[in-house]
Amino acid sequence: MTESNTTGMTRRGVLGAFAATAIVAAPTYSNAAGFLRGGGDIRRIRMMSPRTGERLDTIYWIEGDYIKDAVKEISMFMRDWRTNDIKHIDIRTIDILAASHNLLDVSEPYMLLSGYRSPKTNSMLRSRSRGVAKNSRHMKGEAADLRLSSRSVSQMFRAAVSCHAGGVGKYSRSNFVHMDCGPVRSWGG
């Protein structure tokens, strides 16, 4: 998950250095056009997983193009940690996560509680909680459950809702926010 190069700077390393001063992420939805105008040249996502101990800090979009290897790395990171199954994570979801993170103006990485869920994992979670959807967008690689220690669930919820792109769920008791690339809707707020 991490990149190292002992012989010199990589393209990603150079871009990462510039990213500290020029990061703006934006959803790809047409109804979120306000985020696209003046959106900058780079989109970046930062996450950590308490389940696997892995960290991700990657630029996945540069000057209008998604970086295939970075998107693949994000999908690997957001895999079902229980089964190790991997599913392509929808780039619209990645854009929503990055745009919301940018609006929160934090450098802290998201804590990823749940990304992709295999049908087996979703079924197991559903048997334990009535809050797990039978046809969850997690099983399609279209959702993530996230937390930040430096921001409240309400702050995260408001940032995600303000993107006007996808579903946003506020789970105050469990201290996380659900974001997905489905129809624009919100709950728990």
pLDDT tens-digit map of 174-185: 999 999 999 999
Structural domains present in the chain: 11-187 (3.30.1380.10)
154: how many CB neighbours lie within 10 A of its CB? 12
Residues of the chain above pLDDT 90, percent:
67
147 and 110 Cβ atoms separated by less than 8 Å: yes
pTM above 0.85, yes or no: no
More confident residue, 143 or 128: 143
41: how many CB neighbours lie within 10 A of its CB? 15
145 and 129 Cβ atoms separated by less than 8 Å: no
- Tell me the HSE value of 67 on the side-chain side, using a 13 A CA sphere: 18
pLDDT tens-digit map of 117-135: 999 988 888 788 777 777 8
Which of 75, 147, 62, 152 lies closest to 116 in space, CA to CA?
75
pLDDT of residue 5: 43
